[in-house]
A and B are shown apart, each in its own frame.
Chain A
Amino acid sequence: GAVVSQHPSWVICKSGTSVKIECRSLDFQATTMFWYRQFPKQSLMLMATSNEGSKATYEQGVEKDKFLINHASLTLSTLTVTSAHPEDSSFYICSARDQGEEQYFGPGTRLTVT
C-alpha cells in the first residue's frame, strides 16, 4: 500500500522558535496533501490543503502566517510552525492523495512548546 512518512515524530521546542515538519509520500506522487491537527481527546481537524506548486488553502480559523505550508514537489510537503507558543503544542498529521480519492496518512508529529 501507499506509504507516507513524517519527520520528526516528536519535537520539543522553546517558545518563540520555529519548527518545520516534513511529510513525504514514499512510493507515489501526491498531487494533494492535507495537514491536520489533533488536540487531546478531540477529532483530527483539517488545517489546510496543499496542491503541488500552488499556495495552500487554509481552513477557517487557521492562521496562514503562523502555519506556513510548502508543497514544492509531488512527494514532499512541509509545515512550519512559526514563533511557536505553548498553545501550539499538539499532534500534527499529514495525509497525501494521488490521482484517486483515498488519503494516505503519515504517523504524525507530536509538538511540545515549552
Chain B
Amino acid sequence: ILNVEQSPQSLHVQEGDSTNFTCSFPSSNFYALHWYRWETAKSPEALFVMTLNGDEKKKGRISATLNTKEGYSYLYIKGSQPEDSATYLCAFIVPGNKLVFGAGTILRVKS
C-alpha cells in the first residue's frame, strides 16, 4: 500500500513568520506530486504540480521543492499571513492518473 506522509500534522505561527512542511512519498516509480491548498468549506485549490527531481516552483510567497531520489517535497511559505491559514495537502500520482493523498498539514496563522 502506498503511503504518503505529511508533517507536521498542524502548525500555529504568528503573522510574518516563515514556515515549511514536508511531504514524504515512495521514491520508486515516481510520476508526479501535487500540492493543494484547502480552505474550510471551499474546494481544494491546486498549488503546484512537481514532476522533475530538483524542481523548485514558486507562486507569490509560496514555493515548493522536490527530491524524487529520497522521496520528499517541501512547501515553504514566506512571511505567513492570516489568509494563508488552510490545510495543505500533497498527493502522489499513481498509474491511472489517480491521486494518493497525505493527511495534510493544518496551518493557522495568528495576526
Residues of A within 8 A of B (CB): 4, 9, 32, 34, 36, 41-46, 49, 93, 95, 97, 101-108
Contact = CB atoms under 8 A, between A and B. Distances in A.
B43 interface: yes
Given A4-B43, A102-B49, A105-B43, A34 B98 contact: yes
Given A43-B101, A44-B91, A105-B43, 5 more contacts: A44-B99, A46-B98, A95-B99, A103-B46, A105-B36
Contact size range, B: 20 to 34
A106 B44 CA distance: 8
Interface of B: 4, 32, 36, 41-44, 46, 49, 89, 91, 96-104
28 contacts: A4-B43, A9-B41, A34-B99, A36-B101, A41-B103, A42-B103, A43-B100, A43-B102, A43-B104, A44-B89, A44-B99, A45-B101, A46-B98, A46-B99, A46-B100, A49-B98, A93-B44, A95-B99, A97-B97, A101-B32, A101-B97, A102-B46, A104-B43, A105-B36, A105-B44, A107-B41, A107-B42, A108-B43
A5 B39 CA distance: 15
B38 to A, nearest CB: 8
Given A43-B4, A43-B104, A44-B89, A103 B99 contact: yes
A27 to B, nearest CB: 13
A107 B97 contact: no
Chain A interface mostly helix, strand, loop or mixed?
strand
Contact of A43 (B41, B46, B103): B103
B3 to A, nearest CB: 10
A95 B46 CA distance: 12
B101 A44 contact: yes
Nearest to A5: B43
Contacts of A107: 41-43
A49 B99 CA distance: 11
Among B43, B98, B99, find the residue whose CB has the most chain A CB atoms closer than 10 A: B43
Nearest to A103: B99
In this complex, the member of B4, B44, B46, B104 whose beta carbon has the largest number of chain A beta carbons within 10 angstroms is B44
